Amino acid sequence: MTIDLNSLSFGQYLKTIRLQRGVEIEVIAKETRIGLDNLRHIENEAHDLLPAVAFVKGFLRAYAQALGVDRDDVIQRYEESLRAEQMHAQAEAELVQLNQRFWPRLLLSLSTLGLLMALSILLISLGEKPSTRTGAGSPAVETPAPASLASVNDPQPAAVASVPTPTGPAVETLQPSAEPAQEPLEARASGLPTATPSSSDQDSKTATIEAASDPLRLTILAQEETWIEINVDDSKAKTYRLQPGAHLELKAFSDFRLFVGNAGGITLLLNDLQLPPLGRSGQVVRVRLP
């Protein structure tokens, strides 16, 4: 299996080249005079354990020179990984702030709701007491009872049975409006049985559907929070921030180019076929599909 060096971040890139050339990390440490701990932090891309950015760039230039690779390319990979790490840290900080604001508001809302419920119960109980007193002293108490029984036995409550019917339209509005309509077309284009009696008609319809549909469909499923930058064909790159459980569907004529900030946090399906994992959680990678 060949490794695409262009898709690797700075630490994985240097480590892969070192292992391919059979160079021990102790040799790099002796030649560059960089401590073994810092070299391991660089290869593991442990930003939180590395020194200041200026020192790290100096280490990377020395490491790249020892391996005979382009120093500017290594620095660029480091800066991209550093931006991704900063974006991830910012997203986590925003999430913490959101949680800190959420719980006090939730408690306030629940307290307000409980107060309103208690007030409603109090008003209902106060409204029922006068009717009870008037009924206790008057024979007219028997007249409300037949009226209530008549209302229960009245055929008109059939309208109550019709109350659940609005759930039908509500469910339909939750269904996707455009993309599910393509499923029957794609099923026919893939050769599944259809209700058409003539094979020639089926072939002509299949050819029409294949000509009208996009050749590439990419589905992105997020298991962890991540950001992703996508170029579709020759269009301008667009950046998305995906939360766990979110999914993104894209179409292209030639290819997709992805710049992923958390390779282990997403699953890719190309034309409904699941692709191998892009990398580990937190790893920054570049991918071109197909």
CA angle at 58 for the pair 10 and 36, rounded to the nearest 5°? 70
pLDDT in tens, 16-61: 999 999 999 999 999 999 999 999 999 999 999 999 999 999 999 9
CA distance linking residue 283 with residue 12, whole number of Å: 9
| pLDDT at residue 153, as a whole number | 44
Q: What are phi and psi of 208, to 5 degrees?
A: -65, -40
Within a domain: 184: no
Residue 194 has pLDDT above 90, yes or no: no
Residue owning tokens 């630490």:
11
Q: Quick one: pLDDT at residue 94?
A: 84
Mean pLDDT (the chain) is: 78
51 prior amide bond cis, ω within 30? no
Bigger pLDDT: 259 or 149? 259
Check whether 93 has a pLDDT greater than 90: no
DSSP run (H or E) holding 122 = helix 71-136
pLDDT bin (cut points 50, 70, 90) of residue 210 is very low
Which among 46, 67, 83 is the end of a domain? 83
Distance of alpha carbon 268 from alpha carbon 222, whole angstroms: 9
Tally of domains in the chain: 2
pTM above 0.85, yes or no: no
Residue 189 within any structural domain of the chain? no
Name the least confident of 88-92, 126-130, 187-191. 187-191
* The domain boundary residue, chosen from 44, 65, 83: 83
Burial (CB count within 10 angstroms: exposed 0-12, middle 13-18, buried 19+), residue 176: exposed
What mean pLDDT comes out for the span 113-129?
88
Higher pLDDT, 259 or 90: 259
The CATH code of the domain that includes 36 is 1.10.260.40
Residue 56 included in any domain: yes
| 60-89 per-position pLDDT tens digit | 999 999 999 999 999 999 999 999 999 988
129 in a structural domain? no
Q: How confident is the model at residue 137 (pLDDT cuts 50, 70, 90)?
A: very low
In the predicted model, is pLDDT for residue 8 greater than 90? yes
Q: What is the mean pLDDT of residues 165-192?
A: 41
Boundaries of domain holding 228: 212-289
CA distance 221 to 265: 9
Residue 60 lies in a domain: yes
Bridge-based pairing of strands 226-232 and 247-252 is unpaired
Is 113 a domain residue? Answer: no
Is residue 262 in some structural domain? yes
pLDDT, position 249:
93
Percentage of the residues of the chain whose pLDDT score is greater than 70: 70
Domain annotation covers residue 169: no
1/173: higher pLDDT: 1
Mean per-residue pLDDT, 86-115: 87
Q: What is the pLDDT of residue 90?
A: 86
Among the three residues 83, 98, 113, which one is the final residue of a domain in this structure? 83
